Protein backbone atom coordinates (compact mmCIF):
# COMPACT_ATOMS: atom_id res chain seq x y z
CA UNK A 1 0.00 0.00 0.00
CA UNK A 2 1.17 3.53 -0.71
CA UNK A 3 2.23 5.67 2.23
CA UNK A 4 -0.27 8.54 2.56
CA UNK A 5 2.61 11.02 2.73
CA UNK A 6 3.93 9.97 -0.68
CA UNK A 7 0.64 9.16 -2.45
CA UNK A 8 0.26 11.39 -5.49
CA UNK A 9 -1.79 11.16 -8.65
CA UNK A 10 -0.85 11.65 -12.28
CA UNK A 11 -2.74 11.79 -15.57
CA UNK A 12 -1.38 9.17 -17.96
CA UNK A 13 -2.41 7.66 -21.30
CA UNK A 14 -0.64 5.34 -23.73
CA UNK A 15 -1.02 7.94 -26.52
CA UNK A 16 -0.77 11.26 -24.66
CA UNK A 17 1.70 10.11 -22.02
CA UNK A 18 1.80 11.73 -18.61
CA UNK A 19 0.91 15.27 -17.60
CA UNK A 20 4.48 15.70 -16.25
CA UNK A 21 3.48 16.85 -12.79
CA UNK A 22 1.98 15.21 -9.72
CA UNK A 23 -1.32 16.06 -8.05
CA UNK A 24 -2.38 15.73 -4.42
CA UNK A 25 -5.97 14.66 -5.19
CA UNK A 26 -7.96 12.68 -7.73
CA UNK A 27 -10.14 15.75 -8.30
CA UNK A 28 -7.13 17.91 -9.21
CA UNK A 29 -5.84 15.21 -11.55
CA UNK A 30 -9.21 14.99 -13.28
CA UNK A 31 -9.23 18.78 -13.70
CA UNK A 32 -5.81 18.50 -15.39
CA UNK A 33 -7.17 15.79 -17.71
CA UNK A 34 -10.20 17.94 -18.54
CA UNK A 35 -7.98 20.92 -19.35
CA UNK A 36 -5.76 18.81 -21.60
CA UNK A 37 -8.85 17.29 -23.27
CA UNK A 38 -10.16 20.72 -24.21
CA UNK A 39 -6.84 21.54 -25.87
CA UNK A 40 -6.79 18.23 -27.73
CA UNK A 41 -10.36 18.63 -29.00
CA UNK A 42 -9.69 22.18 -30.17
CA UNK A 43 -6.95 20.77 -32.41
CA UNK A 44 -9.06 17.84 -33.67
CA UNK A 45 -7.50 15.25 -31.40
CA UNK A 46 -8.42 13.34 -28.28
CA UNK A 47 -7.02 12.71 -24.83
CA UNK A 48 -6.63 9.12 -23.63
CA UNK A 49 -5.36 10.05 -20.16
CA UNK A 50 -6.84 8.57 -16.99
CA UNK A 51 -6.05 9.06 -13.30
CA UNK A 52 -3.27 6.88 -11.92
CA UNK A 53 -1.67 6.65 -8.49
CA UNK A 54 2.04 7.45 -8.61
CA UNK A 55 4.09 5.04 -6.48
CA UNK A 56 7.74 6.10 -6.26
CA UNK A 57 8.91 3.04 -4.35
CA UNK A 58 7.96 0.69 -7.21
CA UNK A 59 8.26 3.19 -10.08
CA UNK A 60 4.79 2.57 -11.46
CA UNK A 61 1.35 4.05 -11.94
CA UNK A 62 -1.77 2.22 -10.78
CA UNK A 63 -5.12 3.00 -12.40
CA UNK A 64 -7.77 4.72 -10.28
CA UNK A 65 -11.36 3.78 -11.14
CA UNK A 66 -13.21 7.08 -11.73
CA UNK A 67 -16.51 5.70 -10.39
CA UNK A 68 -15.46 4.35 -6.99
CA UNK A 69 -12.00 5.99 -6.82
CA UNK A 70 -10.42 2.64 -5.92
CA UNK A 71 -6.99 1.61 -7.15
CA UNK A 72 -6.97 -1.27 -9.62
CA UNK A 73 -4.10 -3.43 -8.38
CA UNK A 74 -4.08 -5.48 -11.61
CA UNK A 75 -3.57 -2.52 -13.95
CA UNK A 76 -0.08 -1.17 -13.26
CA UNK A 77 1.98 0.73 -15.80
CA UNK A 78 5.71 0.26 -15.19
CA UNK A 79 7.68 3.25 -16.36
CA UNK A 80 10.04 2.52 -19.24
CA UNK A 81 13.69 2.26 -18.36
CA UNK A 82 12.95 1.96 -14.64
CA UNK A 83 12.95 -1.08 -12.39
Mean pLDDT of 63-73: 64
pLDDT of residue 81: 41
E strands, 1-83, where? 8-13, 17-18, 50-55, 60-64, 71-78
The answer to whether residue 3 sits within a structural domain is no
3-class SS at 76? strand
16-64 pLDDT, tens digit per residue, is 888 888 999 889 999 999 999 999 999 999 999 988 887 766 656 676 7
Number of domains in the chain: 1
pLDDT of residue 76: 53
The answer to whether residue 1 sits within a structural domain is no
Domain range spanning residue 21?
A: 8-78
Is pLDDT at 66 greater than 80 in this prediction? no
The answer to whether residue 83 sits within a structural domain is no
| Band (72; pLDDT cuts 50, 70, 90) | low
Amino acid sequence: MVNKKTKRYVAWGSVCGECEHLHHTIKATQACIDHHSRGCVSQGGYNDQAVYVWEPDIVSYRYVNPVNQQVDEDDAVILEGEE
